[in-house]
């Protein structure tokens, strides 16, 4: 190995033994992007002996994560977060193995671009509820986004009715599963990650392991319970289309055990909830800072939808500006600025550099989405960059990035919930802007409070703008009347 270290990709010098760890304390994507200027498309760091490779350009990411997917589709080993707390059944965190293939196939079957259409009625209902909540309780906008995203994901996973504040305890319980596993995955959280041999300790000697296994047992029970409710609904002939029903109806085709099925549906909340709600916070930040973009979007929506009804999915193909806005929200401030880590399953060479087996491989999504060659004014929120001269979505925007950004990841492990996520963001944004204006809040002297573009909260994997005040107000009395009607029977007015 020593012979090869001269060929490692370039990178900053670190300290003896701990390497570059101290240079990576906070918001590392900003630091990586500064280093990109010095070290180029691919660089390496040493995390106390663990090699980490950072891919800074689309070309490097696509050459490795797409074209050599056999080597780069693995995830790093996480003993506590993935193996103990989730029993190796968290599809997003597991190794690239046979179980992952079976699970991924089942998710794809239910969430691919065509299948995702069956969730549109649910997404319309959720969007109307969200707008009503924003109108009547605007100061708590962030918690409305969280509840709305949670409700949409749980509806998609289990066919549940929209969740209400009374359901908050169960959402908290599911949320706890996500947070436990994200916390456990943070570097330094558990010694066993540094000394894997500790995993062989008997449970009576290892409190952390005992507790982890106990959580796994409880969480498995919870997820199995959710799944068996769906099974009962199927038997009674009143199940709604959802991931769980699709898994249960095709369990033998997908070759999934009961436990695997339960965890597959259960983990969707962790993967889809915070990501979507954080992207909505980015949207609000953009609207507060770019009022002209908001007006432009509102004009386009009014032209297509009119003022007598809320937008719905029949407008989906007629609102390219909103599609462009969804892309720009995900590009401008990606909620997953470093994607999800990969791991090299074998040693490899790339452009004369050596990548050792077991190296962490990180895609610097933040830098790629701000590549000045692709986005000359990369720090501006400008959805029209994704439109062609006739105002349609420019499908040829980039050869390497069919979506116009890389926030959903790459290759075989690209986000399977992306169609669902895009649809949710589209409908939420269209309904919010049809009904409401978003403006900067003012201080006691009446001066606008301008939110910062770069202040953010790092939740472990997902990153969102730091909390900031802003104002949501109805665009007109008529809008309130349409919304009231939509709220009346619990369904959007167009139903
Ligand atoms: C704005 C919304 C979302 C963003 C930005 C996002 C982003 C991502 C990213 C970056 C990855 C890792 C990809 C890679 O390794 O290359 C991922 C994986 C995943 N996402 Fe999403 N996601 C979103 C919404 C959703 C939704 C709504 C669901 C499902 C309900 C979902 C389910 C998953 C799953 C299951 C994985 C693991 C895939 C695997 O490891 O094979 N995501 N997502």
Measured CA to CA, the distance from residue 284 to residue 291 in angstroms comes to 11
Q: What pLDDT, on a 0 to 100 scale, did the predictor assign at position 117?
A: 97
When pLDDT is cut at 50, 70 and 90, the band that residue 182 belongs to is confident
Distance from Cα 270 to the centre of ligand 1, integer Å: 9
Question: Which atom number of ligand 1 is nearest to the Cα of residue 339?
Answer: 10
Tokens 């350009």 sit on residue = 57
pLDDT tens figures, 409-426? 999 999 999 999 999 999
Q: What is the pTM of this model?
A: 0.95
268 in contact with ligand 1, CB cutoff 6 A: yes
339 in contact with ligand 1, CB cutoff 6 A: yes
The average pLDDT across 308-313 equals: 96
Selection from 347, 311, 378, 278 nearest residue 33 by Cα: 378
Distance from Cα 403 to the centre of ligand 1, integer Å: 15
| 405 class by beta-carbon count within 10 Å (0-12 exposed, 13-18 middle, 19+ buried) | buried
Q: Specify which residues 74 forms β-bridges with.
A: 343
Pocket test for ligand 1, best of 415, 424, 425, 462 (most atoms within 8 A of CB): 415
Helix 320-332 with 291-305: angle, nearest 10 deg: 150
Q: Specify which residues 42 forms β-bridges with.
A: 55
Distance from Cα 269 to the centre of ligand 1, integer Å: 11
Measured CA to CA, the distance from residue 305 to residue 308 in angstroms comes to 8
When pLDDT is cut at 50, 70 and 90, the band that residue 196 belongs to is confident
Q: What pLDDT, on a 0 to 100 scale, did the predictor assign at position 3?
A: 55
Measured CA to CA, the distance from residue 320 to residue 446 in angstroms comes to 36
Distance from Cα 157 to the centre of ligand 1, integer Å: 14
pLDDT tens figures, 239-271? 899 999 999 999 999 999 999 999 999 999 989
Distance from Cα 271 to the centre of ligand 1, integer Å: 6
Tokens of 266: 């259960």
Q: What pLDDT, on a 0 to 100 scale, did the predictor assign at position 386?
A: 96
Q: What pLDDT, on a 0 to 100 scale, did the predictor assign at position 190?
A: 84
Pocket test for ligand 1, best of 99, 159, 275 (most atoms within 8 A of CB): 275
271 in contact with ligand 1, CB cutoff 6 A: yes
Tokens of 274: 């915070």
Question: Which atom number of ligand 1 is nearest to the Cα of residue 279?
Answer: 1
- What are the residues whose beta carbons fall under 8 Å from the beta carbon of 16, sequence distance 6 or more? none
The Cβ of residue 488 has, within 10 Å, a number of other Cβ atoms equal to: 9
Q: What pLDDT, on a 0 to 100 scale, did the predictor assign at position 4?
A: 67
Q: What pLDDT, on a 0 to 100 scale, did the predictor assign at position 495?
A: 31
Pocket test for ligand 1, best of 152, 271, 460 (most atoms within 8 A of CB): 271
- Residues above pLDDT 70, as percent of the chain: 97
Residue with CA at minimum distance from ligand 1 atom 32: 417
Distance from Cα 174 to the centre of ligand 1, integer Å: 17
Residue with CA at minimum distance from ligand 1 atom 17: 415
Question: Which atom number of ligand 1 is nearest to the Cα of residue 341?
Answer: 15
Helices (H), 306-389: 320-332, 365-368
- What are the residues whose beta carbons fall under 8 Å from the beta carbon of 96, sequence distance 6 or more? 73, 74, 75, 345, 412, 413
381 in contact with ligand 1, CB cutoff 6 A: no
When pLDDT is cut at 50, 70 and 90, the band that residue 493 belongs to is very low
336 in contact with ligand 1, CB cutoff 6 A: yes
Check pLDDT > 90 for residue 327: yes
Q: What pLDDT, on a 0 to 100 scale, did the predictor assign at position 487?
A: 67
Q: Specify which residues 53 forms β-bridges with.
A: 44, 361
Q: What pLDDT, on a 0 to 100 scale, did the predictor assign at position 424?
A: 98
Q: What pLDDT, on a 0 to 100 scale, did the predictor assign at position 167?
A: 84
């Amino acid at each position: 190995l020593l012979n090869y270290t001269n060929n490692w990709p370039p990178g900053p010098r670190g300290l003896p033994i701990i390497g570059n760890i101290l240079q990576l304390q906070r918001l590392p994507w900003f630091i990586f992007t500064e280093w990109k200027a010095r070290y180029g498309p691919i660089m390496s760091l040493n995390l106390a002996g663990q090699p980490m490779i950072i891919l800074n350009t689309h070309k490097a990411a696509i050459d490795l994560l797409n074209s050599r997917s056999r080597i780069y589709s693995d995830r790093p080993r996480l003993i506590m977060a993935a193996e103990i707390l989730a029993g190796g059944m968290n599809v997003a965190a597991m190794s690239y193995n046979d179980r992952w293939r079976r699970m991924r196939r089942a998710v794809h079957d239910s969430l691919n671009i065509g299948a995702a259409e069956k969730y549109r009625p649910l997404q319309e209902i959720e969007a109307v509820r969200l707008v009503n909540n924003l109108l009547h309780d605007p100061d708590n906008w962030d918690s409305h986004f969280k509840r709305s995203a949670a409700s949409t994901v749980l509806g998609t996973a289990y066919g549940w009715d929209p969740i209400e504040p009374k359901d908050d305890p169960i959402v908290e319980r599911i949320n706890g599963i996500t947070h436990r596993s994200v916390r456990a995955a943070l570097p330094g959280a558990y010694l066993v990650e540094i000394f894997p041999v500790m995993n062989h300790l008997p449970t009576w000697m290892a409190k952390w392991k005992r507790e982890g296994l106990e959580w796994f047992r409880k969480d498995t029970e919870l997820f199995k319970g959710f799944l068996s409710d769906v099974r009962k609904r199927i038997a009674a002939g009143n199940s709604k289309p959802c991931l769980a029903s699709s898994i249960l109806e095709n369990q033998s085709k997908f070759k999934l055990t009961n436990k695997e099925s339960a965890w597959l549906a259960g983990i969707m909340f962790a993967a889809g909830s915070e990501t979507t709600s954080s992207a909505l916070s980015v949207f609000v930040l953009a609207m507060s800072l770019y009022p002209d973009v908001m007006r432009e979007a509102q004009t386009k929506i009014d032209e297509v939808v009119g003022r007598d009804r809320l937008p719905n999915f029949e407008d989906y193909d007629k609102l390219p500006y909103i599609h462009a806005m969804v892309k720009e929200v995900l590009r401008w401030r990606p909620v997953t600025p470093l994607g999800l880590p990969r791991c090299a399953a074998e040693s490899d060479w790339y452009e004369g550099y050596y990548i050792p087996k077991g190296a962490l491989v990180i895609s610097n999504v933040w830098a790629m989405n701000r590549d000045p060659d692709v986005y000359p004014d990369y720090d501006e929120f400008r959805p029209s960059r994704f439109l062609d001269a006739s105002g349609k979505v420019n499908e040829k925007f980039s050869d390497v990035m069919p979506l116009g950004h890389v926030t959903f990841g790459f290759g075989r492990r690209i986000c399977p919930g992306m169609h669902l996520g895009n649809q949710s963001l589209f409908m939420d944004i269209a309904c919010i802007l049809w009904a409401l204006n978003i403006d900067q809040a003012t201080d006691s002297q009446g001066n606008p409070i301008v939110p910062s573009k770069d202040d953010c909260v790092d939740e472990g994997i997902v990153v969102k703008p730091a909390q900031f005040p802003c104002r949501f107000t109805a665009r007109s009395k008529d809008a309130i009347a349409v919304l009231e009607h939509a709220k009346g029977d619990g369904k959007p007015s167009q139903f």
